[in-house]
């Protein structure tokens, strides 16, 4: 029985979140936790997708792509199938999703799924897509999930490594051999990206002459971080993370739970720590050297609702056939 497997990594915004709204650059890094998609033949004339972690399930009629069964989730996958149908006949299959990336944690889970699903199913029906085409199709699915996504998540999930995002364009960054770890610590406080973005924009409109200097500082942090990443200077990267966190605090997206985790990480030996993503809840990231990562992890475990230890993923999307 033919089986295709594909997987794609998650991501963090390492520097520059929120400031991109005013045209400033940001850096995203792919992380080792992955979403896995398995596609295999089965004795049925339907195409069924099942998520082992969430229990979500959706069933398609291959010829028409009519949704026969769904609990309201995974509907974005129909867009991927529509894109692929323009290139090749859609065939029945059993598709199973497993994930190491938590949902709604700011780690790009929906884009990782879209990339892995596109890669696995396109290979199953006999298409040899370039990475650029896989990313483009995944981006169409991301529009269903997020409305107006930046394209950061599907790009980093496809290509891995680190990318610079600036004014709608992407540049792959040269990164030295970083062997230290990132720890993502979730506060458990619900977050709303839309609410956070609007709150920050309102503050900027109120104090533009003050905040333009904060935004310019955020850009300078990104430029310094580019050089530090190329040299694998994790001490400098950590220091820049700390400064970036201060700017995020200044624009009002921090909070007691976030600050607590940020400072616990630093006190326990992290090279740097900061909010990642929208803020006003959600998660922080801490960078820890190999000899201190366990100590930082243990200290955060007593206060965080969820922890993930990760390294940088250099590979991006991966496809296997058996």
Mean pLDDT of 215-223: 98
Q: Which position has the higher pLDDT, 169 or 38?
A: 38
The rounded Cα 56 to chain-centroid distance in angstroms is 20
Q: Domain residues of the chain, as ranges? A: 3-174, 181-310
**Residue-wise over 174-204: b if at least 16 C-beta within 10 A, else e?**
ebeebebbbbbbbbeeebebeebbebbeebb
The pLDDT value recorded for residue 322 is 67
Mean pLDDT of 169-198: 89
Label residue 114 by pLDDT band (50, 70, 90).
Answer: very high
The pLDDT value recorded for residue 271 is 98
Residues tagged active-site:
153
Q: What is the CATH number of domain 181-310?
A: 3.30.70.890
The rounded Cα 164 to chain-centroid distance in angstroms is 14
Q: How much is the pTM?
A: 0.90
Fold of 3-174: Ribosomal Protein S5; domain 2 (3.30.230)
């Amino acid at each position: 029985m033919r089986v295709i497997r594909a997987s794609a990594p998650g991501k963090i915004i390492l520097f520059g979140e929120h400031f991109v709204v005013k045209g400033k650059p940001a850096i995203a890094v792919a992380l080792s936790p992955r979403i896995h998609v398995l596609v295999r033949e089965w004795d049925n004339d339907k195409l069924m997708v099942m998520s082992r972690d969430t229990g979500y399930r959706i069933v398609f009629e291959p010829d028409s792509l009519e949704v026969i069964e769904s609990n309201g989730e995974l509907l974005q996958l129909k867009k991927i199938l529509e894109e692929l149908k323009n290139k090749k006949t859609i065939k029945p299959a059993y598709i199973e999703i497993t994930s190491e990336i938590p949902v709604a944690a700011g780690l790009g889970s929906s884009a990782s799924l879209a990339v892995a699903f596109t890669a696995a199913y396109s290979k199953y029906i006999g298409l040899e897509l370039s990475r650029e085409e896989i990313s483009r199709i995944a981006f169409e699915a991301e529009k269903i999930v997020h409305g107006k996504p930046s394209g950061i998540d599907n790009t980093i999930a496809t290509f891995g490594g680190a990318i610079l995002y600036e004014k709608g364009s992407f540049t792959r960054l040269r990164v030295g051999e970083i062997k230290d770890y990132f720890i993502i610590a979730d506060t458990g406080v619900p977050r709303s990206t839309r609410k956070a973005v609007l709150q920050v924009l309102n503050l900027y409109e109120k104090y533009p002459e003050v905040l333009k200097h904060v935004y310019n500082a955020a850009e300078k942090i990104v430029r310094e971080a580019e050089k530090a990443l190329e040299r694998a200077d994790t001490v400098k990267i950590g220091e820049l993370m700390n400064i970036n966190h201060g700017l995020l605090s200044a624009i009002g997206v921090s909070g007691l739970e976030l600050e607590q985790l940020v400072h616990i990480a630093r006190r326990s030996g992290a090279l740097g720590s900061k909010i990642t993503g929208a803020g006003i809840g959600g998660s922080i990231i801490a960078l820890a050297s190999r000899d201190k990562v366990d100590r930082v992890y243990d200290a955060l475990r007593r206060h965080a609702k969820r922890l993930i230890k990760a390294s940088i993923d250099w590979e991006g999307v991966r496809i296997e056939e058996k």
